[in-house]
C-alpha cells in the first residue's frame, strides 16, 4: 500500500470512528500512531494500533468499546489475515454482549445466491410486529447498528440488522440483483413478524439496493437513507474520476472485481444506475439525507430523486460524505423518519442514542 493510500485511509477512518461512537480526539491519537498498513498486526501498523486499543477495552470488560475498535482495525474490509483476526474478535465480543440482552437472536438466511446472517430482536409468532430492517454501506458491519435493536423495541417493531452483500457475514455476491436480499429477509421473518409493513433504514450504498427493492416489493412502506448512490455514481464518467481510491477499491472488492482498474470497474457497474421509471414507481415515503460537499456521492442523486419520487423527504447538510459534523442532527432525523413511517408515536426525545457499537 502506498503512502497516499494510507493517508486516505486515515482521513476516512475518522468519519467511521465517529459513527462508532469514538471521540475525535481519541481517534486522531490512534491514527497518528499508525505508520504503515502492511497486513501485519505489530506496533505502528494499522491493525496493531487499533487492536491494541480494543484489547485494552476488552480487558476492562467494556465490550462496546472493544467491538468498535476491532471494527476499526478491520477497516475498510478484512483484506488481509490481520484484519480477518480483528473482525473475528469483534464478532466474538459482540456475541458475548448480545447474550446479555433479552430477545436478541441470530438469524441465518439461505438463498440460491448464498448465505447471510443478521441479528434480530422482537420476532414473535404470537404477536407479529412491523419490521425495521437496517443495513449499512460498503464498510459498515451489522454489529455497528445494534442501537436500532433498542429503538425498534421502543417503537413496537421487530428489528433485523444485516449487511449488504460482500460485507461482514454476508456471502452474497454484490451484483445488480443484490436488492433481492431484502425480500429474502422478509420471507425469513414472515412467520414471526408483520413483514407486510416494513421500513428499511439503508445507509450509503445499501440505500441504492433498498430503493430498487422497494420499487418491486409492496411490503416495504418506507425507506430512510443517508448519502446513497442512485444513478450518477454508477453511470457518470465525469464524476467517477473524483471518487476516492479507497471507495473505488472497496466497491470493486465486494463486486468481485479485485485488480480491475477504475475504468473497468465503473464500466461494469454502469447498468446498476436506477432508472427514472424505477424511481417513479416508488409510491412510498423516501427520506434522503444529502451532504452538499460529499466527495463520494454526487449531489445530482438527490435532484434525480426530487424529480421522480413523489414522496421524497430531502434534508441537506453542508458537510462531507455522511455529514460527520452533523451527526446528532442526522440521528434525530433518522429516528423521527423511522417513527413516522412505522406509524408509531415516538416518545419525547427519541433518538438513536450515541449510535455507538452495542451501546444500550
- The 10s digit of each residue's pLDDT in 92-110 is 999 999 998 899 999 999 9
Sheet of 312-317: strand order equals 105-111, 114-121, 158-162, 130-135, 194-202, 220-226, 286-291, 312-317
Q: Which three cell numbers stand for residue 169?
A: 457475514
What confidence tens digit (pLDDT) does each residue in 321-340 have? 989 889 889 999 999 999 99
**Length of the chain in terms of residues written:** 360
Q: Smallest Cα–Cα separation from 73: which of 117, 34, 124?
A: 34
- Point out which residues pair with 120 in neighbouring strands: 105, 160
Q: Smallest Cα–Cα separation from 226: which of 165, 316, 145, 325?
A: 316
Domains in the chain, CATH or no CATH each: 3-96 (no CATH), 103-341 (3.40.50.1820)
Q: Residue 268: CB partners within 8 Å, gap ≥ 6?
A: 255, 257, 260
pLDDT of residue 9: 86
What confidence tens digit (pLDDT) does each residue in 35-65 have? 999 989 999 999 999 999 999 999 999 999 9
Model pTM score: 0.89
- Point out which residues pair with 102 in neighbouring strands: none
C-alpha–C-alpha distance, residues 24 and 142, integer Å: 22
- Sign, CA torsion 9/15/17/20: negative
Amino acid at each position: 500500500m502506498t503512502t497516499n493510500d494510507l493517508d486516505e485511509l486515515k482521513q476516512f477512518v475518522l468519519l467511521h470512528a465517529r459513527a462508532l461512537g469514538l471521540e475525535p480526539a481519541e481517534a486522531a491519537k490512534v491514527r497518528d500512531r499508525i505508520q504503515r498498513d502492511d497486513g501485519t498486526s505489530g506496533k505502528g501498523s494499522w491493525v496493531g494500533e487499533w487492536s491494541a486499543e480494543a484489547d485494552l477495552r476488552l480487558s476492562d470488560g467494556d465490550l462496546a468499546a472493544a467491538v468498535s475498535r476491532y471494527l476499526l482495525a478491520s477497516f475498510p474490509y478484512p483484506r488481509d489475515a490481520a484484519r480477518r483476526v480483528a473482525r473475528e474478535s469483534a464478532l466474538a465480543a459482540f456475541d458475548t454482549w448480545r447474550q446479555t440482552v433479552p430477545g436478541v437472536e441470530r438469524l441465518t438466511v439461505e438463498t440460491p445466491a448464498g448465505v447471510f446472517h443478521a441479528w434480530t430482536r422482537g420476532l414473535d409468532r404470537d404477536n407479529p410486529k412491523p419490521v425495521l430492517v437496517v443495513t449499512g454501506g460498503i464498510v459498515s458491519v451489522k454489529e455497528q447498528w445494534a442501537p436500532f435493536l433498542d429503538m425498534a423495541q421502543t417503537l413496537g417493531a421487530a428489528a433485523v440488522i444485516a449487511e449488504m452483500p460482500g460485507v461482514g457475514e454476508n456471502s452474497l455476491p454484490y451484483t445488480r440483483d443484490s436488492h433481492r436480499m431484502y425480500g429474502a429477509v422478509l420471507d425469513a421473518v414472515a412467520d414471526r413478524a408483520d413483514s407486510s409493513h416494513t421500513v428499511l433504514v439503508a445507509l450509503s450504498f445499501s440505500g441504492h439496493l433498498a430503493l430498487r427493492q422497494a420499487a418491486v416489493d409492496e411490503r416495504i412502506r418506507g425507506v430512510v437513507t443517508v448519502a446513497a448512490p442512485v444513478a450518477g455514481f454508477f453511470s457518470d464518467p465525469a464524476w467517477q474520476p473524483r471518487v476516492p481510491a479507497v471507495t473505488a477499491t472497496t466497491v470493486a472488492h465486494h463486486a468481485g472485481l479485485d485488480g480491475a482498474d477504475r475504468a473497468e470497474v465503473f464500466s461494469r457497474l454502469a447498468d446498476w444506475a436506477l432508472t427514472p421509471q424505477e424511481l417513479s414507481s416508488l409510491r412510498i415515503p423516501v427520506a434522503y439525507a444529502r451532504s452538499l460537499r460529499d466527495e463520494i456521492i454526487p449531489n445530482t442523486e438527490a435532484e434525480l430523486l426530487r424529480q421522480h419520487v413523489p414522496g421524497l423527504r430531502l434534508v441537506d447538510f453542508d458537510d462531507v460524505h455522511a455529514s460527520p459534523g452533523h451527526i446528532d442532527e442526522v440521528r434525530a432525523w433518522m429516528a423521527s423518519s423511522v417513527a413516522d413511517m412505522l406509524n408509531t408515536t415516538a416518545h419525547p426525545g427519541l433518538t438513536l442514542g450515541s449510535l455507538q457499537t452495542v451501546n444500550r
